[in-house]
Copies of this chain bind each other. A is one copy, B any other.
Amino acid sequence: MASQPLLLLILDLTGTFAFAINGALTAIRATRLDIVGVVTLGMITGLGGGTIRDVFLNALPPATFVDWRYLLTAACGGLLAFGLSSVLDRLSTPILVLDAVGLSVFAVLGASKAIGLDFGYAQAMIVGTITACGGGTLRDLLILRIPTVLRSELYAIPALVAAAITAVLIHFDAYGIGTSLCAAAVCFLIRMIGVRYDLNAPEPPRRREHG
């Protein structure tokens, strides 16, 4: 973590911050919580994906738990959302964009951490996707929503694509700051196109509603 390039660290913290704000706002909208609940859900959304990642990679204690910069960033995101929820509600587009930044960065860094720890490419793709989607899934569970990532929208798929590109880049020894940003940009673009045109992943054949 220490040797992580500054740019990636900044993007990673940006993603954590955006996830924390987004998670806290989602929680405020969905149900009545007190300040403990709002900040907790913000922190879980921001840090949960990395925590699950580190369980799967046997990299405990979780990096985002040990590093106070992540804790502080996530806590600030949650507190900000608590204090300014009515203002932030009107900023949904910038928050959506920041959330897509988080999704992209988490997917790339998750996959690259897995390969750095000698896991296979399939594992790296799974872990990248879990890193990107895990925090939001935990948030949804805690407020009793079926995780949106399981139901609709292009959310897990762009993360999976970015994780796969990361694996390919590392395989061909072409993984660097520039190319990792490209992988993240692909994820970001797919996610943004999905939001703009309201695209969804395929669903199972519709079930007979009457009968």
Contact = CB atoms under 8 A, between A and B. Distances in A.
Interface of A: 27-29, 31-38, 40-41, 51, 55-58, 60-62, 65-66, 68, 71, 82, 85-86, 119-120, 122-123, 126, 137, 141-147, 149-152, 155-157, 200-205, 207
Contact of A202 (B35, B62, B126, B201): B35
Could you say how many copies of this chain the assembly holds?
3
A120 B57 contact: no
A175 B207 CA distance: 47
Contacts of A86: 205, 207
28 contacts: A28-B207, A32-B151, A33-B146, A34-B150, A34-B201, A34-B202, A34-B203, A35-B204, A36-B150, A37-B147, A37-B151, A41-B150, A55-B60, A56-B60, A56-B61, A56-B62, A56-B65, A61-B119, A66-B123, A71-B122, A82-B204, A85-B204, A86-B207, A137-B142, A141-B141, A142-B150, A143-B146, A144-B144
